C-alpha cells in the first residue's frame, strides 16, 4: 500500500488508504508513541463492511513533515485538532467522515469536532476521555503517579532523555501501559521507525510541557485555544472505548463525560485490555465501531 499525502497550511501529512470506493470514510488516527501501523488489524473488518479507511500520521511522526523549516514545532493539543480539520478538508470528501482516534489521536479528533462542528458524522475515542485537556483538572494520586513521564519531560533530564534515548523511553511506555507480553519486540521496532523524524522530540516535549503550563503556546493557535477552553459541548454521536486495565489513563478518567455531548454518547470498558485496544483487541474494537455506526 503506497503512502499518499495531503498538504495543509503547515504540513505534508502522510496517510495510508484502503478501499477507495467505500460507501463512507473512516479516519483512524494513532497516538503517542505509536504509528499508522497500530490500525492494521482493525482495517480489514471495516473494509469488509464497505468502508473507505484512511490512517494519517500525526505531526512529528514519519512520514508527515513540515513544509517550512521556520514553523514552530509545537505539539500543543489545539494544533493536533487544527491539523485534523485541515487534513479532512484536504481529502475533499463528499460527506463527513467517521473520526476515530487513540491517545493523541483521540485528542486530535475531539478537538477537530470542537473547532469545526459538523466535521464528523460520528466520533470514536480510544483510551483518552474528552474534557481532559484542562491543565487545572483534578487528578487522583494514582493518576498523578502514572503521569510520571509528563512531569519528567518538564525537567532538563527528561528533555535530554527524549532527545538522546527516545526509542528506549517510548518502549518503557509500551512495557508499562498494558499487560505484560502484549506485543512482539519486532512490532515495536517497526513502529519506532516513525519516530525517526527530526521533529519527533520537539513535538513530544512541547506537547507534554504545554499541556501543564510548562511551555508557552504558539500564538498561531491562540484563537483555537480560546475555542477549546473550556471544552465545548460536542454535537456528534460519540463512542468511548477504554481498556479496563489501562496502565496510564485510568478508566476513571473517561467516566462521567456525558455532560460534554448533546448527541448520543456511549462508553464501553474492554476487560483485560490495556492502553492500546486497537492493538490488543483489534477485532473487538472494529466490531464496536461497526455496531455503533449502525
Number of H helices, E strands in the chain: 12, 9
- Residue 2 in contact with residue 242, Cβ under 8 Å? no
Q: β-pairing, 11-18 with 4-7? A: antiparallel
* Average per-residue pLDDT for the chain: 97
Where does the pLDDT of residue 214 fall: very low under 50, low under 70, confident under 90, or very high at 90 and above? very high
Where does the pLDDT of residue 72 fall: very low under 50, low under 70, confident under 90, or very high at 90 and above? very high
Whether pLDDT at 213 is above 90: yes
Q: Residue 134 has what pLDDT? A: 87
> What's the CATH code of the domain at 200?
3.40.50.1820
Whether pLDDT at 1 is above 70: no
Where does the pLDDT of residue 71 fall: very low under 50, low under 70, confident under 90, or very high at 90 and above? very high
- Residue 43 in contact with residue 173, Cβ under 8 Å? no
Q: Residue 97 has what pLDDT? A: 98
Average pLDDT over residues 179-190: 97
Residue (of 277, 200, 267, 196) closest to 237 by Cα position: 267
Residue 18 backbone class (left: φ over 0; alpha: ψ -120 to 50; beta: rest): beta
* Cα 63 versus chain centre, distance: 16
Give per-residue pLDDT as tens, 267-281.
999 999 999 999 999
Measured CA angle at 76 (ends 74, 78), to 5 deg = 120
Name the residue range of residue 237's domain. 4-293
Report the domain count for the chain.
1
Residue (of 132, 154, 153, 159) closest to 143 by Cα position: 132
Distance CA 160, CA 155 (A): 9
Residues in the chain: 294
Residue (of 181, 184, 178, 152) closest to 277 by Cα position: 178
Give per-residue pLDDT as tens, 101-153.
999 999 999 999 999 999 999 999 999 999 998 888 899 999 999 999 999 99
Q: How far apart are the first and last CA of the chain?
A: 28
Where does the pLDDT of residue 30 fall: very low under 50, low under 70, confident under 90, or very high at 90 and above? very high
Q: Residue 116 has what pLDDT? A: 98
Whether pLDDT at 2 is above 90: no
Q: Give percent of the chain with pLDDT exceeding 90.
A: 98
Per DSSP (E only), the strands in 92-142 are: 98-102, 122-126
Average pLDDT over residues 275-292: 98
Q: Residue 286 has what pLDDT? A: 98
Task: Indicate the angle between helix axes 200-211 and 156-164, nearest 10 degrees.
Answer: 150
Q: Residue 6 has what pLDDT? A: 98
Residue with cell 492493538: 279
Q: Which grid cell is 78?
A: 489545539
Amino acid at each position: 500500500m503506497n503512502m499518499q499525502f495531503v498538504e495543509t497550511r503547515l504540513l505534508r501529512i502522510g496517510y495510508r488508504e484502503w478501499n477507495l470506493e467505500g460507501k463512507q470514510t473512516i479516519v483512524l488516527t494513532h497516538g503517542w508513541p505509536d504509528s499508522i501501523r497500530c490500525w492494521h488489524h482493525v482495517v480489514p473488518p471495516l473494509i469488509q463492511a464497505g468502508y473507505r479507511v484512511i490512517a494519517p500520521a500525526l505531526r512529528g511522526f514519519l512520514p508527515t513533515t513540515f513544509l517550512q523549516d521556520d514553523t514552530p514545532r509545537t505539539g500543543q493539543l489545539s494544533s493536533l485538532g487544527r491539523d485534523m480539520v485541515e487534513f479532512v478538508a484536504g481529502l475533499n470528501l463528499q460527506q463527513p467522515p467517521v473520526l476515530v482516534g487513540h491517545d493523541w489521536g483521540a485528542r486530535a479528533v475531539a478537538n477537530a469536532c470542537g473547532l469545526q462542528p459538523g466535521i464528523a458524522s460520528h466520533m470514536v475515542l480510544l483510551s483518552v476521555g474528552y474534557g481532559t485537556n484542562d491543565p487545572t483538572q483534578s487528578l487522583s494520586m494514582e493518576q498523578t503517579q502514572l503521569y510520571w513521564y509528563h512531569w519528567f519531560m518538564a525537567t532538563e533530564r527528561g528533555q535530554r532523555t527524549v532527545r538522546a534515548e527516545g526509542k528506549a523511553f517510548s518502549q518503557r511506555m509500551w512495557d508499562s501501559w498494558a499487560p505484560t507480553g502484549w506485543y512482539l519486540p519486532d512490532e515495536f521496532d517497526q513502529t519506532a521507525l516513525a519516530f525517526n523524524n527530526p521533529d519527533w522530540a520537539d513535538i513530544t516535549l512541547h506537547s507534554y510541557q504545554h499541556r501543564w503550563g510548562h511551555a508557552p503556546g504558539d500564538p498561531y493557535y491562540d484563537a483555537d485555544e480560546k475555542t477549546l477552553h473550556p471544552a465545548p459541548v460536542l454535537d456528534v454521536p460519540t463512542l468511548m472505548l477504554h481498556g479496563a486495565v489501562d496502565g496510564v489513563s485510568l478508566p476513571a478518567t473517561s467516566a462521567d463525560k456525558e455532560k460534554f455531548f448533546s448527541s448520543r454518547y456511549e462508553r464501553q470498558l474492554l476487560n483485560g485490555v490495556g492502553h492500546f485496544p486497537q492493538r490488543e483487541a483489534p477485532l473487538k474494537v472494529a466490531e464496536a465501531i461497526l455496531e455503533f455506526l449502525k
